[in-house]
Structure 1
Amino acid sequence: MNGVIIGYGTIAAGHTIGYQRTPGIDVVAVVDPTPARAAAARSVGLRAYTTFDQMLDHETPDFIDICTPPNTHADYIGLGLHHDLHVLCEKPVLMPHDGHYDHLLDQITAADKVFYPCHNYKFAPILATMQQVVHDPDFGDVLGARFRTLRRGHAVGVGEWNPHWRRDPLIAGGGILRDHGPHSVYLATHLTGRTPLAVSCLTGNMRHDHHTDTEDTAKLIIRCDGDVSIELDVTWAAGYRNSYYSIIGSAGTVTVENNDVQYSLGGNLHHDTLPSNFDDPQHSDWFAAMFADFLVKTQHPEQAAPLLAETLTTSLVIDAAYTSAAAEGRWVELQPCQQLLAGASR
């Protein structure tokens, strides 16, 4: 199976390495209008095109992998599905248009192709270990969770094209809540198995730099079914990097902090050290595992259905968080995801 990457920046370079490590799937070309990025793609053996239409004149891909900034995701998703291609898309995958997702959901559900979110943190081995602990019968029921992501600044893009686009609301659609927030949200639902019902959020600018059009810090509390609360803290204003994930069960606990895993099962405390690769911006090992999963989903498309619900839930939580923050943290009830998907499938 061959594919084309749309947008060749830092993440796309990591995707390229991931494809090289995944049997049965390959990427052969890129679409990027920036001459320097096209040259970078050619330097690793990929053909490069300026536009999507130009690419289709010369290539017959099975899928596209969208690695462009968020404000272009919807257009490229639509193009890929219109041309009968499987579609992968980097986060934030779904962006609301005029506050709604109806048109994009209609396109996705009507297509006979796999729509796959690049939720790569799910494929970090250290977090897979965490999931195994949570699913152990001795862990009991999930009672609560807290995730914390500290970074010393926003990820800087390639110098050839607007390196600080993550702080431009017209391109990014928000700040850290829209950029790194999705990782925390989809991980929370994936690892705990809980369904978000309502969100309370506060945001702010703590670094006091010249990027003030978007927030650099956010604190969310997500109220879920089963009376479970999930707390998420994300910031670009920290003095050091730290990645922390903790889940409490009725009979056990598990915590991941950077490369350390500590968990308690059956009254026994365990400690392991694993390379997390949280600080590797390209995450090529995670991508290899993710692309192998994508390949399975193209062979068994019925398995991809839950991914759309996960993607939509993630976006609805982020949208509700922004609404809450604008109202000084008041609780905002979430739209039922399944109702929106049912409406799109009719």
Structure 2
Amino acid sequence: MKGAIIGFGTIAMGHMVGYSRVDELTITAVLDVSKERRDHVENTYGLPAYSDFESLVANEDLDFIDICTPPGSHAGYSELGLANGLHVLCEKPVFLPDEDGGYRKQMELIRATDRVYYPCHVYKFAPVLASLKQHIQNPGFGKVLGANFRTLRSGHAKGVPEWRTHWRREFETSRGGILRDHGPHSIYLAMNLTGCTPRSVSCLTGRMREGDPYRDTEDSALLRMRCDDGVEIAMTLSWAAGHRSTGYSVIGSAGSVVVDGDELTATAGGDVLRTTVESGFDDPTHKEWFPSMLRDFLAMTAERGHQTELIREALTTSFVIDAAYASAADEGRWTDCEVPEELLSVPPAVAA
């Protein structure tokens, strides 16, 4: 299948590495609003680069688009892709509230097409996290009782120098701070790893770095999710740390597993296993994770009914983030985050 990348920044270059290792998928064109980025694509990759979607689809024979732009334009490009009969991959956050505060329009577009709409939840394909999930699913681990996730960075990730390098701190473009940027990874991972569904959240946000010039968005968030069966999952997210680290710990009724970067420690039945699973958490492009994700997308184009679970995961993730912002605005009160069932109905065009 032939595709185009929409928005050729840092994360798109990670996607390109993934495509280079999946023979069935080929990027044949790029769209970017920056002339400098278009020149970079043409000079470095030898691909045609367009400034607008209409020119792209008029001149290229495409099967899919891969949206790697900042969040503020995800819905618009998704609509254009689906309306033109293309499969759509989209970076997180996949869903953002419509103007009326809901998600109905986006879900109606997905229901109305027979194309695959694929949220790029790439952290699930990090080797060490895949190993973590295997330990949780081991019968010797027992029932999940709770979890704690940590994402610390010494600053926000910067975009390419040619276009709004600090867009992650501009609300109009990012639609939020670290909670909207790193939050989705933690939330969809929590659901995927533990099998638990968030029901309510409590959150505090703030700007913790001294002298932080970015007033529109938060650089730190403390989030707690209450899930089924009384399971609580806590998350610490900060761009104001003095170092970079990523960690996950999950406690079971008969075991535990802790990931600190590429290091994994698991206990079960009194035994302790320590191992290193090279995963490249310090690489902001996550390029080593994308081949597995793209193969998952490819498999989904053959078995389209399987996208329902992934869309549910992405929609729930956005509802959690919306509820977390509402909670933070009200001093951390517990706030419902359940998704209305009518939004989660199986898209009829892709039902198994």
In which range does the TM-score fall when normalised by the shorter chain?
A: over 0.9
> What is the DSSP-based 3-state SS (H/G/I as helix, E as strand, rest coil) of the residue aligned with 2:190?
helix
> Which of residues 248, 251, 269 is equivalent to 1:266?
269
State the one-letter code of the partner of 1:151.
R
CA contact (8 A) 2:308 2:347 kept: no
CA contact (8 A) 2:179 2:321 kept: yes
Gaps of 5+ in 2: none
State the one-letter code of the partner of 1:77.
S
Task: Supply the RMSD in Å over aligned alpha carbons.
Answer: 1.3
Work out the CA distance in 1 between the residues paired with 2:344 and 2:232. Answer: 25
Residue deviations 1:89-148 (CA, integer Å, cap 9, x gap): 001111111311011111012211110001100000000000000000100110000000
Work out the CA distance in 2 between the residues paired with 1:251 and 1:335. Answer: 29
Work out the CA distance in 2 between the residues paired with 1:250 and 1:300. Answer: 35
The 1:120–1:265 alpha-carbon spacing in structure 2 relative to 1, beyond 3 Å, is same
Give the TM-score of the pair, scaled to structure 1: 0.98
> What is the DSSP-based 3-state SS (H/G/I as helix, E as strand, rest coil) of the residue aligned with 2:226?
strand
Residue deviations 1:173-205 (CA, integer Å, cap 9, x gap): 110000110000000000000010000000000
TM alignment of 1:1-346, pairs within 5 A:
1-42=1-42, 43-98=44-99, 99-208=101-210, 209-342=212-345
Work out the CA distance in 1 between the residues paired with 2:21 and 2:346. Answer: 39
State the one-letter code of the partner of 2:185.
H
Gaps of 5+ in 1: none
Offset at residue 332 of structure 1 (A): 0.4
Higher mean C-alpha displacement, 241-250 vs 97-106: 97-106
Work out the CA distance in 2 between the residues paired with 1:342 and 1:303. Answer: 13
Work out the CA distance in 1 between the residues paired with 2:316 and 2:340. Answer: 6
Offset at residue 60 of structure 1 (A): 1.2
Residue deviations 1:8-33 (CA, integer Å, cap 9, x gap): 00001110111001121111110012
CA contact (8 A) 1:67 1:90 kept: yes
CA contact (8 A) 1:313 1:337 kept: no
Work out the CA distance in 2 between the residues paired with 1:97 and 1:345. Answer: 22
Offset at residue 335 of structure 1 (A): 3.1
Work out the CA distance in 2 between the residues paired with 1:168 and 1:111. Answer: 33
Work out the CA distance in 1 between the residues paired with 2:173 and 2:318. Answer: 16
CA contact (8 A) 2:6 2:66 kept: yes
Work out the CA distance in 1 between the residues paired with 2:255 and 2:342. Answer: 34
CA contact (8 A) 1:312 1:337 kept: no
Offset at residue 338 of structure 1 (A): 3.0
CA contact (8 A) 1:3 1:62 kept: yes
